[in-house]
Amino acid sequence: MGNFEDYLIKYDLKEADIHLLDLIPLIEMIWVDNENQNAEIDILYRFALDHLCNLEDKDGNTPITENDVNSFLDRFTQKQPEAQMLKDLRELCIDQLGAQTDQSEQKSRKDAILDHCLDIAGACAAAYPYKYNERVAISEKTLIKELFRKLA
C-alpha cells in the first residue's frame, strides 16, 4: 500500500484521519502491552489537543473538528486495534512526516511524538514493586527502540 486512499478503504478511515496520523505511534505505545491505562490515555488526549491547536491556521481554522478528533480517539482507545493496522498506519505517519518540507517543523513533530511515547511508556508500571530496570515493559522498550530508529 502506498497512499492514504488505500488505507481509507482497508481500515475504514475517514479523510479527516490523515491529519491525526501523528497520534498513531502514541496509540501503538499504549496498546503494545495489550492494555490501555488511564494515565496513558490522559497523555494521548493532551497530545491530541496540542496537535489540534498546531493544525490551526492564522485565522484559527483547522482542517478537522474536535468531533473528528474525539471519534478517532474513541475508535483507537475503546478497543484494542489490530497490531498490523497500527504498524501500517505508523509507517504512513512516518512517510507523511518525511514529506514535511519544513525541516524545523518535521523535527518538532518527530520530537513531540517520541517525547510523548516515552511518557506513555513510563506512565504505568506493570507491577509494584518493580526492579530497577522493569519500570518500562519489554514490549514498550522494543517499540521505543523501533520508533527512535525510524524517527530520529
Give the pLDDT of residue 2: 57
Give the pLDDT of residue 1: 46
- Interval 39-61: pLDDT, tens: 999 999 999 999 999 998 878 88
Give the pLDDT of residue 130: 63
Give the pLDDT of residue 64: 93
Cell of 75: 475508535
Give the pLDDT of residue 75: 97
Q: Render each residue's pLDDT in the chain as its tens digit; 152 residues.
A: 457 888 889 999 999 999 999 999 999 999 999 999 999 999 999 999 999 999 988 788 889 999 999 999 999 999 999 999 999 999 999 999 999 999 999 999 999 999 999 999 988 766 556 666 667 888 999 999 999 999 98
Give the pLDDT of residue 71: 96
Cα(52)–Cα(69) distance, rounded to whole angstroms? 8
CA-closest candidate to residue 33, choices 147, 117, 115, 136: 136
What DSSP string describes 10-69?
A: HTT--GGGGGGGGGHHHHHHHHTTS---HHHHHHHHHHHHHHHHHT--TTS--SS-HHHH
Locate the DSSP E strands across 48-151.
Answer: none
> Where do the structural domains in the chain lie, given as residue ranges?
4-151
CA-closest candidate to residue 151, choices 86, 90, 82, 83: 90
